[in-house]
Structure 1
Amino acid sequence: MNYRNLILLVLGQCTLGATAPMLVLINGFIGTELAPTEALATLGMGTLVAGTALATVPAARLAQRRGRRFGFMVAAMLSILGSALAIGSIHFHSFTLFCVAMFVLGTTLAFMQQFRFAAAENARPDQISLAVSMILFAGIGSAMIGPRLGVAAAPWLPELPYAGSFVALAVLALACLLVMSFYRSQARPSQSEPTSVTRVQLWRPGYVLGVLCGATSFSVMSLVMTATPISMHHHQGLPLAETADVIQWHIVAMFVPSLFTGYLIKRIGVQWVALLGILINIACVLMALSGVTLQHYLVALVLLGLGWNALFMAGTHWVAVTHAGEERFQAQANNDFIVFACQGVASLSAGFLLALIGWQGLNLVALAMLLICMMVWFHLVLIRQVHRLGVAT
């Protein structure tokens, strides 16, 4: 295992990775101020994820042709550009420009998603889940830095509410740019045209389930998490500080279990970790449906983070081990595009669903997605396994 590269990836995750948790907290507040209606308040979050989804394939192609290091440095520069556009949108009170800024920052996150696959390249096959766990655990740094820095830096430019948060975001991007300049890719960039694989070769059962787990984990997480600040602060009147605490503990719960998830995958198998993630997410929805006090929000969002970690780790492991050759870039790009396209739809829908059917209705939609994922899990894991045993006997 190349620990030098892994440490640099961890530092990159802690700096550039603070983008998502910071924007989760402040995006809805800025959207509420700039958007023409409350139903569009989460549109900025939707364009953020749309930027991530649309940039996944170009980001993977760039990494294949120019190397991971070059891609990570491009991501840091895009973060600086997006932060500058966001400050301009607040200055001109332009919701359109704000959405453009979120789109640019979303392209940054597309490159950042490659941290976990870069970690896998720096580890032996039997250490892949542990290497990925290190990167996801680094998200705890993002969880501590992002929301708190977003609140602390908000008054840096008093005449422009929350513009200071984007100044802080640009500073973090500069730090990431410096750190990633020392990264050295394990795999040499490809000098040939990107290879293609047939649909049958690419969409193996393990890969299909990995993509589904990733898409479900992000869709449910984004739908519930994006709506939480608006539901807590604007609908229930809970203080901003308590809202920030809930988001922060949610993100902590997303990444702290990474210390154990990699070991758990090796111990009991990736398929059972995936099922555990589905069940924990269902428990989150049931808690959210049971009340709207601070305690209900806090427990639900912590469960949401725990369920996301198990389900996303399982999906990442399946994608990483199913395709390890040159076709891995295509497989990773397709996976990330689907995952973040689904996340984008979920983030964009959060505001509409919250306005149309309320907090409970929104959580019922999340429950439906989880049940679909569980049915596919039963088909691809249990039914196929029973079939194989029957054939063997």
Structure 2
Amino acid sequence: MSQSPGEPPRAQPAPDGAADETALSVGLQPEAAADRPHPAQGRTLVVLSVAQALGGLSNGVALGVGSLLVEQVTGRAELAGLAATLLTLGGAGLAVPLARLAQRRGRRIALTTGTLLALAGAVILAVGGSLDSPLLVLPGFFVLGGAMAVNLQSRFAATDLSTPRHRGRDLSLVVWMTTIGVVIGPNLIGPGDALGLALGLPHLVGAYVISAVAMAITAAVLWVLLRPDPLLESRVGLPPQTERPRLRLRAHPRALAAVIAVAAAHSTMVGVMALTPVHLDHAGQHLGVIGFTMSAHTAGMYALSPLFGWLTDRVGARATVLTGAVILLLAIAANLALPASLAPIGLALLGLGWSAATVAGSTLVAAAVELPLRPALQGRSDLVMGLCAAAAGAAAGPILGVVGYAGLNLAMLPVIAALVVAAILATRVRDRAA
């Protein structure tokens, strides 16, 4: 189409249809999508980033001693994995209710509510640990899953006021801030235990005192500073809704494909990662190697997320998700070919592949439907993601027992294939005349 004299220059579409993927997914032409940053977006990103770092710190402390606390109160080592499982299930179970709350009342109230639930979970864990009561400790981890739900939904909150060309960047910045908490949190386990003992609390319980304090500060930050509410602000100027919109995924095949892509990437990561420490222990590796391997994995998950956000904006979500799939395949190849002493290489690649696919896939989810339906889709995506991760983690143990670590890695190949197919389906450009 020709451009009239004096008309402001139109923005050129990004390579590989990066702008098309988001604009067309909601029925807009790329030129019709505003490309000027919202005045409140910078403040929103700062507040969400601070909250994400504090939340990650709380999770790092709490989960770092979770398995030990479960073993301590139950007296059964085989139940230690319930801490991570219940935390994951709690995050998945709370995803949809918090998304519905965001839909009705905005992000500030939803994220603050999830954080207060996590605070209650930390308090329940501290009390349960003090009373040596598994009946309190195990539900406490489920309630603490509110922190995981907030962690996931914060990345979508970062995109509420984003321009189409910077959606991946903004989302990945909030994801990256998790790195601070994940790195610092485990290092506070020792000081937390010393604090707890000084307060007269039993061994391991002090960590949940620190977790509760971090959650309280996070809730205050979100409640006081997340103004204007990014989701409510994004609706300014839109016609008022006469009825609550309902999401039917069957009517949005590209949105469904985006949800599947994120879930497949997450399941691949969790399925391999969950049993790698057990594999290394059986292979005779000492705790130093196991710890370094998991640190390399965590670094891969978060440290380069801004790079993958930038790639999503520059070359498109499809190309970035497919890059993640290739890196996941390289991780499986490394796990198959390298000795156990070099496991950090494979696990770092596993984290990198997850980061690329999840950042780009979440960017697709963030804009896969019309604005009124986005919180509902985002909540369902987090629910599916969490349930698939829990299933992958639960299945990894029996698979490892039957076919070994090599078989466990090979079992992830169909999941990666599903990731590739879903990414292609989620980014098909619809007919502009439709």
- Shorter-chain TM-score category? 0.7 to 0.9
Q: Give the deviation of 1:51 after TM superposition.
A: 1.1
Which consecutive unaligned segments of at least 5 residues does structure 2 have?
1-36
Q: Give the deviation of 1:319 after TM superposition.
A: 0.9
Given candidates 336, 339, 342, the residue that maps to 1:289 is 336
1:204 aligns with 2:253: yes
Q: What TM-score do the two structures reach when normalised by structure 1?
A: 0.86
The residue number in structure 2 matching 1:223 is 271
Q: Deviations over 1:273-322 (max 9, x none)?
A: 111111111222222234563431x1122111101110101211111121
1:251 aligns with 2:298: yes
Percent identity, aligned pairs only, is 26
Given candidates 345, 348, 352, the residue that maps to 2:394 is 348
Q: CA RMSD in A?
A: 2.9
The residue number in structure 2 matching 1:182 is 225
The residue number in structure 2 matching 1:271 is 318
Q: 1:307 to 1:173 in 2, by over 3 A?
A: same
Q: 1:141 to 1:261 in 2, by over 3 A?
A: same
CA contact (8 A) 2:96 2:383 kept: yes
CA contact (8 A) 2:265 2:419 kept: no
Deviates more, 1:230-239 or 1:178-187: 230-239
Q: Give the deviation of 1:234 after TM superposition.
A: 7.5
C-alpha distance in structure 2 between counterparts of 1:350 and 1:273, whole Å = 27
Q: What TM-score do the two structures reach when normalised by structure 2?
A: 0.78
CA contact (8 A) 2:335 2:409 kept: yes
The residue number in structure 2 matching 1:332 is 378
Q: 1:70 to 1:235 in 2, by over 3 A?
A: farther
C-alpha distance in structure 1 between counterparts of 2:356 and 2:256, whole Å = 17
CA contact (8 A) 2:115 2:219 kept: yes
Q: Give the deviation of 1:245 after TM superposition.
A: 3.5
CA contact (8 A) 1:143 1:252 kept: no
- Say which one has the larger Rg: 2
C-alpha distance in structure 2 between counterparts of 1:121 and 1:46, whole Å = 30
Q: Give the deviation of 1:325 after TM superposition.
A: 1.3
1:194 aligns with 2:244: yes
CA contact (8 A) 2:361 2:423 kept: no
The residue number in structure 2 matching 1:161 is 203
Q: 1:336 to 1:75 in 2, by over 3 A?
A: same
The residue number in structure 2 matching 1:391 is none
C-alpha distance in structure 2 between counterparts of 1:11 and 1:360, whole Å = 40
Letter of the 2:214 counterpart: L
Write the mapping of 1:60-209 to structure 2, written as runs, cut at 5 A. 60-158=99-197, 160-180=202-222, 181-184=224-227, 185-188=229-232, 194-201=244-251, 203-205=252-254, 207-209=255-257
1:214 aligns with 2:254: no
Q: Give the deviation of 1:218 after TM superposition.
A: 1.6
Which consecutive unaligned segments of at least 5 residues does structure 1 have?
389-393
C-alpha distance in structure 2 between counterparts of 1:250 and 1:97, whole Å = 31
Q: Give the deviation of 1:272 after TM superposition.
A: 1.3
CA contact (8 A) 2:326 2:353 kept: yes
Q: Give the deviation of 1:235 after TM superposition.
A: 6.7
CA contact (8 A) 2:56 2:179 kept: no
Deviates more, 1:168-177 or 1:353-362: 353-362
Q: Which has the higher helix share?
A: 1
Q: Give the deviation of 1:330 after TM superposition.
A: 1.6
CA contact (8 A) 1:65 1:191 kept: no
Given candidates 43, 51, 54, the residue that maps to 2:90 is 51
CA contact (8 A) 1:281 1:308 kept: yes
> What is the total number of aligned residue pairs between the two structures?
381
- Counterpart of 2:246 in 1: which secondary structure? coil
Deviates more, 1:88-97 or 1:299-308: 88-97
1:320 aligns with 2:369: no
Q: Give the deviation of 1:242 after TM superposition.
A: 4.6
